[in-house]
Amino acid sequence: MPVISAPHDFNEGHLFVDLTSVVDHPLYLKCEGFNFAGSIKLKAANEMVESAERDGILKPDSVIVESSSGNLGVALSMIAASKGYRFLCVTDSRCNLSTRLLMEALGSRVHIVADLDENGGFLGTRLEYVRSLCASDDRYVWLSQYTNPGNWQAHYRTTAPQIARHFPRLDVLFVGTGTAGTLMGCARYFRQWHRPVRIVAVDSVGSVAFGGEPGRRMIPGLGMSMRPPLLDESYVNEVIRVEEADTIRACHRMARRGFLFGGSTGTVVSGATEWLARHGNPDITAVAIAPDLGERYLDTIYQTNWLEDLYGDQILDGDELTTTTLEPDDPAPREPDRWP
Ligand SMILES: Cc1ncc(COP(=O)(O)O)c(C=O)c1O
């Protein structure tokens, strides 16, 4: 019976869903959404905060600041609340409403940028704002998930060994790519393993993480509007790019079976399904990583109006979609929050 006194002390790391009946090929999904932060980002957040504490960078009057599309922000909010730090999250208008409210409920401040950067994303604008904050007051501490080695080391230490333990005959691992922390931690671990594992990175169309044309992306978590500084492509065997419409279809296909996952899980599962169908070998042992669950996406991926507005009526054709029709009730964003 686990008994904890800090929220980050609990993280379910050994839950896999057998998706064979959903994707028509054996595929095991490692579920990372069962912790108090609700996502895989708890691991990176923990590692980065602990290493900043060890290095003496975080002091009692520090204000942690980070650019996040949401999940790292929630994880840092939780850890900051538990340890008594202040936290300011710089995010953008794609951040889900519930994610923003979660951060605020945990006592954090949230600043939302609205101007696109030169690659059609928000990352450049977010980082510019973080830099301006850090220049304005030295109490701000930027953990910088995009460059912090703790981000990938967390997965090298935990995520990859958890997969290895349960799948000693693993052939292929599908990993969605945002900062590339999960990807690089797992790829580095399996490079040294007892048998070769094919590392397949899954990205969204419109992301420039692996090159390619920038384009509109509405689903947070996966994809980047810059090359991830942590990425070393020599560890990646293949890259699959998934259209957001396919992400949505995969999410709804799983929801029809009672598994409500987040957007990046839909992206990874869609990419893995396509890859497994192409390779056609039912004996391949394949694992994909599901970074979070679906509740944070009820007003986007699982909401009719949002889907129709962004992807057109056709997205709702076919019988695999399960949506709610609600009037969006998004409170107006508040004015920039600065700390102190
Ligand atoms: C929903 C979601 N998708 C994808 C990712 C990508 O992970 P990474 O930044 O490690 O590449 C994350 C990271 O937390 C996430 O929360």
SS (H, E, C) 13-79: CCCEEECHHHHCCCCEEEECCCECCCECHHHHHHHHHHHHHHCCCCCCCCEEEEECCCHHHHHHHHH
Give per-residue pLDDT as tens, 7-18: 999 999 999 999
- Quick: pLDDT tens for 124-178: 999 999 999 999 999 999 999 999 999 999 999 999 999 999 999 999 999 999 9
Residue among 21, 94, 23 at smallest CA distance from 271: 23
Question: Whole-angstrom Cα distance, residue 153 to residue 15?
Answer: 21
Ligand 1 mutation pick, 292, 293, 297, 300, max ligand atoms within 8 A of CB: 292
Return the ligand 1 atom nearest residue 292 CA.
Answer: 1
pTM across the whole model: 0.93
CB distance 274 to 292 below 8 Å: no
Residue 258 per-residue DSSP state: T
| Mutation to probe ligand 1, out of 78, 174, 222, 224 (largest number of atoms < 8 A from CB) | 222
Cβ of 159 closer than 6 Å to ligand 1, yes or no, is no
Q: How far is it, in rounded angstroms, from Cα 117 to Cα 120?
A: 5
Q: Within 10 Å of residue 137's Cβ, how many Cβ atoms?
A: 12
Q: Atom of ligand 1 at shortest distance to CA of 145? A: 9
Q: pLDDT exceeding 70 applies to what percent of the chain? A: 93
Q: Please identify, by atom number, the ligand 1 atom nearest to the C-alpha of residue 71.
A: 16
**Distance from C-alpha of 212 to C-alpha of 68, rounded to nearest angstrom:** 23
pLDDT score, position 156: 98
Q: Of ligand 1's atoms, which has the minimum distance to the CA of residue 40?
A: 14
Higher pLDDT, 68 or 317: 68
Residue 317's pLDDT is: 73
**pLDDT tier for residue 333 given thresholds of 50, 70 and 90:** very low
Question: For atom 7 of ligand 1, which residue has the closest CA?
Answer: 178
- Label residue 313 by pLDDT band (50, 70, 90): confident
325: left (phi over 0), alpha (psi -120 to 50) or beta: beta
Strand order across the 172-176 sheet: 16-18, 28-31, 286-290, 172-176, 198-204, 238-242
pLDDT at residue number 325: 60
How many Å lie between the centroid of ligand 1 and the Cα of residue 287? 16
Pocket flag, ligand 1, residue 177 (CB < 6 Å): yes
Q: What is the distance in angstroms between the CA of the first residue and the CA of the last residue of the chain?
A: 41
CA of 289 to the centre of ligand 1 (A): 10
Half-sphere exposure of 36 (CA within 13 A, CB side): 17
Instruction: Indicate if the pLDDT at residue 200 is higher than 90.
Output: yes
Contact assessment for residue 245 and residue 215, using Cβ atoms and an 8 Å cutoff? no
Supply the residue whose CA is at minimum distance from atom 3 of ligand 1. 221
Q: Is the peptide bond before 340 cis (omega within 30 degrees of 0)?
A: yes
